[in-house]
Amino acid sequence: MLYTSISLLALLIFGSIFYYNALVNKKNRMKEAWSGIDVYLKKRYELIPNLIETVKGYASHEQQLMKELATLRTQAIQTQQGQEKIDNENHLSQHIARLMLIAENYPDLKANANFQQLQTQLETLETEIELSRRYYNGTVRENNIQVQSFPSNLVAKIFGFEDGTFFEVDNVVERSSVKVSF
């Protein structure tokens, strides 16, 4: 009886340690994946002012969009990880797509070498952001499975581990591909 009790207690302790370490691993992978997204988002933030300045000279009557884009960029920079950050990034992406569509109406702008270079950089960054989002969402999925599955969910509750937030596109229009070729 004593050996059985000791064995069960040891199994409970080692099981808890195992699940705790697995949860820490998943949480850290999520953080690392988010930092990957953050790197590309910062590069995009740096590119946006250059893009705005290039388009400004050609599309002077689109000043409202330029102001909104600058405001959204600032909001996105200032928010941290979480649903608010995801929402801000989705709004920023929508406005960037609108800016690219407006540029379609200006043949001189489309032919501008600086604009073409910025557009290529933006397309590359958007691809990298998409890949980073996929990786991040994969780590969130793995974390959430671990947090929600029995018996690790018991350890997760005790130590305060929570589900991660997926980086999802919440706008139906944004889900469809935006053509930005010139």
CATH number for the domain harbouring residue 154: 1.20.1440.20
- Is 35 inside a domain boundary? yes
Write out pLDDT tens, residues 103-116. Answer: 777 777 777 788 88
Using DSSP, state whether 58 is helix, strand or coil: coil
Q: Which residue has the higher pLDDT, 62 or 165?
A: 165
Question: What integer pLDDT is reported at residue 99 of this predicted model?
Answer: 83
Amino acid 54: pLDDT: 81
How far is Cα 143 from Cα 108, in angstroms, rounded to an integer? 49
pLDDT of 172 reads 44
Tell me the chain's radius of gyration from C-alpha atoms.
23
User: Does 76 map to a domain?
Assistant: yes
In a domain, 6, yes or no: no
Determine the pLDDT at residue 180: 46
Structural domain boundaries, residue 81: 14-175
Q: What is the mean pLDDT of residues 149-158?
A: 95
Q: Is 149 contained in some domain?
A: yes
Euclidean distance between CA atoms 148 and 155, whole angstroms = 10
Nearest alpha carbon to residue 63 among 49, 74, 52 = 52
Listed ranges 48-57, 111-120, 153-162; the one with the highest mean pLDDT: 153-162
Cα separations (Å) of 101 from 24, 36, 111? Answer: 44, 28, 15
For residues 91 and 170, the answer to whether their CB atoms sit within 8 Å is no
Query: What average pLDDT score do residues 143-161 get?
Result: 95
Residues in the chain: 182
Nearest partner of 161 among 175, 140, 147, judged by Cα: 147
Residue 94: pLDDT over 60: yes
Average pLDDT for the chain: 86
Paired tokens of 30 = 């999520």
Is 20 a member of any domain?
yes
- pLDDT category, 170, cuts 50, 70, 90? low
Is position 180 within any domain? no
Q: Which residue has the tokens 């946006």?
A: 48
**Residue 9 belongs to some domain of the structure:** no
Token look-up 């599309």 returns 59
* pLDDT score for 141: 97
For the chain, the domain total comes to 1
| pLDDT score for 182 | 39
Residue 158: which pLDDT band, with cuts at 50, 70 and 90?
very high
Whether 8 is covered by a domain: the verdict is no
